Structure 1
Amino acid sequence: MLPFPPGVPRWRALPAAALAVCVLVSSPQVAAQMRSSAAGETREDAANAVRTLTLTLSERPVRVDVHAPAGKGRDAVVLAHGFMRTRASLAGHAAALAEAGYLTVASDLPYGVSARDNGEALADLLALMRAGALGMPVERIVLAGFSAGALAALFAAVNTPDLAGYIALDPVDFPDREGLAAAHHLQIPAVLLHGPPSACNVFRRAAPWAAAMPDLREERLIENASHCDFESPTDGVCTHLCGATTPERQAAVRAALLRAAAALLSPR
């Protein structure tokens, strides 16, 4: 995510950010269920055991891909994409997590620049999963997000204390450090995976989260990774603005994500 120009309110900077950025591309359960419900459209991809649902999250229709787990796993991972991206940019990670035995949900985010509103949508999704709205039983859930999606996921995680854990993939924070303030209140285990400082991770403005989180289990630097190495698959828009990827670095990110999920969802 490219930084907003100094001294310019975020809402004024948004049009420029939308052109320049690649990714950068607590709701109580009862209230969430009242305003969050499954809509009629369902697409099934039998070959890959992926269903696409349209849900109402935070009063907006949202597309969600549900990747069935290999085996009979009841633990789940939810993935949140970066700014100006979609759930498709995390489909590779979702497939790998499902192959590892986790029900994996990759959701679009309904609000453009508002990480707090997207956090409410994610909290609604978590409540729906707990209520069985996806048609699969769910026990423990890990919430993971990339870039600005990591910030939205952090807001949701702070307000969902029964999660098994939180994973941030090269996260970003806003200039007013809203994420840092939230990190102090995160009461669940957390893992931070990041690349070196770059314009697209706002020169690691989210770095102070590590010291703030009460239950940080791991902080890992992926050596020489670009911001786009944390997506799967990424695209030319991201690599043009945020740096090239390599199969080796992408594999390192994937392996770190799978290890983090396994550690947070290890048998009790």
Structure 2
Amino acid sequence: MSTLLRSVFKSSTIKCLANSLRQNEACFPKRQFTRTLWHMCPSMNGEGRPKNLYKAASSSKLCSCGCGIMHAHTKSEKELVDFLSEEITQERKLLKSSTIPVEVDGFKVKLNGSEVTLTKTAGDEIIEVNFNVNHSVDTDVEPEINQTANKPQLGEMKSKPVFEVEINRGGRTLGFTCSFLSSGESQSDDGYNDLFAIDEVTLYEGDWKDTNYAVSGEILDGYLYDLLMNFLDDKGITNEFVEKLTEFSTVYEHNSYISLLESLKKFASGN
């Protein structure tokens, strides 16, 4: 009997506690209380979203150098821009011409970045001269060092690139790789005063392949070498042509160098 009374009493107590909890929950609903905290938070906007998460990043301040752009220059960038401005001005004073010729000694000019192609048609032959102005500049004369002078007098800067001559006839191509000779090398023992030398000779059909055979000009028979130089002379690859080639290459390389300086200045200034 006592066991039955304890069970009834325990069941009544649990029901009373459950009813009490439900009454309290009705008075303070969880969802309503949470939304109240959400709207009371100072970091929320009117739509109930965190302000900082949806706020666009503030723009950086204008550069203090007066360039008027949204960029903060470092000291090194400012110094680089100042130097480039002076350098561009000086280089433009030394520039021989800002106009690039469209023809060189009867050869038509085609430009592709640093690469230059000169083309001429003679009968059933197509003669092409190809070269690249990159890394082609050197002083024309070795400077004479004067111990009392602040700066040595340097020779004129000239572009003397390695160039390739291709003579195409009936699908076959006779190719020469040539390079400029230094002032000391141009005068040979036999009295010739060549401005350039043949470095390599090849003959192939169709398009060039790396597997095509080529021979170095240094190991050619001396008489054969002279005959090939005469052959090039007949095709218009003469000392006079090579002089005009280096004049063209010098102007084009110098204009390319100034363009690089100007682009570098824009990059450093953030434009």
Report the TM-score, using the length of structure 2 for normalisation: 0.23
Report the TM-score, using the length of structure 1 for normalisation: 0.23
Structure whose CA Rg is larger: 2
